[in-house]
Structure 1
Amino acid sequence: MKRVFAKLLSGGALVLAPVLAQAAEVQVAVAANFTAPMQKIAAEFEKASGHRVLLSYGATGKFYAQIINGAPFEVFLAADDRTPARLESEGRIVPGSRFTYAIGKLVLWSAREGYVDPQGEILRRGGFRHVAIASPKTAPYGAAAIEALTRLGLLDAVQPKFVTGENISQTYQFIFTGNAELGFVALSQVMEEGRVTGGSAWLVPTDLYPEIRQDAVILSRGARNPVAVELVEFLKGEKARAIIRAYGYEF
């Protein structure tokens, strides 16, 4: 982005010269499941705008606690729609800024090829020691996994084998490192360019858990930061949406 300033030369001539405007920045809290796509979106936004995007990743519930306690975030991309709605009802966001940026999908995944069958029957067969799951208290994907197991009638059998991650990123690491043979993660964590990139997976049917609508908001702290508005508008654009779709999200 550029601005123009006037420079008076020694002969009295007035010359217009372009200079780069000072880059600004925006602080963004991002639900852990959206890490990979947001990294790409932020890079594209920085390239297009010249501004900096400072990203923090974590569990939606923990971000809520940090925000109400004064954390310096200006934009919040949650893993659900309830938390942004709560912030809105409490007067902690820019009015009218809340919108759904993605609809997430739950997947049962193992880092081992062929370990998880395409129908998820491994949950009934058993034979595994650990199932990784994100904390259902702070991570919407963890709550979705609990709901899916409940509807399948398998919660009582599987729950004693839970290894609980603080957020969905830690849950993925439990599975990736082999500390859990399998577990429930966001489809976006194991998909890129429209396909699962490694291991084996069962895409959990969407009728087994409530729709995971992921909402974004401009927080009150970002009300006076034009870069916050620019980033949110960029997130709604086709370039960002193409990235989001590539990771298995819907709208």
Structure 2
Amino acid sequence: MRLISSLLRLSVPLAFWLGVWGGSAHAGVVQVAVAANFAAPFQKIAAGFEADTGHQAQAIIGSTGKFHTQIRAGAPFDVLLAADDETPRQLESEGLAVKGQRFTYAKGKLVLWSAQAGLVDPQGEVLHKGAFKRLALAHPKLAPYGAAAVQALQCLGVYERLSERLVMGDNIAQAWQFVSTGNAELGLLALSQVAVPDRPRTGSWWMVPARCYTPILQDAALLTRGEHHAPARALLNYLKGDKARAVIQSYGYDL
């Protein structure tokens, strides 16, 4: 009886260690193509994802348009976190993304920002007054935020007048760099680049009215390479959870 009792006491820690070893053995790596505007929040989400599941999410940051081209060429991505809803839809129609897995993980917002305090007024009139030399934005053919920026300028009636002052980056991160380094006084950027949690907001900024651009619905897609990759599906499920959603909202996105 003493021997049986001892074995029963040992079975609990043994089962525990078997579970730990088994979990580690099944941990994997997900290759994720992440739209540049979502780089900072995804870094936090990936850290939580690894802590909670043991899986690692390795991010490749870039523009949605370039990712589309790379995926068509066979780039080894498991998941795409796009800056629009059109690219994931097209990838589904092309047989490069798994149908029925696409969902909107965030709704983006456009902001006019300057690193200079006081340059951007509360109504965004600086765009009409023209007291600047350069306005940065992402390339509209590569980045959905760039397309939204062009729509906003057209909506405000200043696109033609300011067209020669536009400086375009390959993605929204490069556009932000132009402004943060002083190479452009103004930038039409993602709110998530300005509203960083636990960091004081610097410079001056104005929220572009939502009526001035098509809603920026950012969709996630399970690519065909990741269809049978359990960590890829786990990441998509994690993005729908409360922890990830809290991070997303903290960067100024709507859900």
TM-score (structure 1 length as normaliser) = 0.92
Determine whether 1:241 maps to 2:242: no
Asked if the contact 1:144–1:209 (Cα under 8 Å) also holds between the matched residues in 2, the reply is yes
The CA deviation at 1:58 is: 0.4
The CA deviation at 1:192 is: 2.3
2:110 to 106, 109, 131: 106
The CA deviation at 1:193 is: 3.2
Measured at CA, do residues 203 and 195 of structure 1 come closer, stay the same or move farther in structure 2, by a change above 3 Å? farther
Determine whether 1:45 maps to 2:64: no
User: Residue 70 of structure 1 aligns to a residue in which SS?
Assistant: coil
The count of residues paired between Structure 1 and Structure 2 equals 237
The structure with the largest strand share of the pair is 1
Whichever residue aligns with residue 194 of structure 2, its letter is V
2:123 to 114, 119, 130: 119
Determine whether 1:200 maps to 2:180: no
Once residues 56 and 171 of structure 1 are traced to their aligned partners in structure 2, the CA distance between those partners, rounded to angstroms, is 18
The CA deviation at 1:195 is: 8.4
Gaps (5+ residues) in structure 2? 1-13
Paired residue for 2:86? 82
Whichever residue aligns with residue 109 of structure 1, its letter is W
Determine whether 1:217 maps to 2:232: no
Once residues 198 and 111 of structure 2 are traced to their aligned partners in structure 1, the CA distance between those partners, rounded to angstroms, is 14
Mapping of residues 112-191 of structure 1, within 5 Å: 112-191=116-195
Whichever residue aligns with residue 87 of structure 2, its letter is T
Paired residue for 1:3? none
Determine whether 1:58 maps to 2:51: no
Once residues 150 and 194 of structure 1 are traced to their aligned partners in structure 2, the CA distance between those partners, rounded to angstroms, is 34
Determine whether 1:26 maps to 2:30: yes
Whichever residue aligns with residue 241 of structure 1, its letter is R
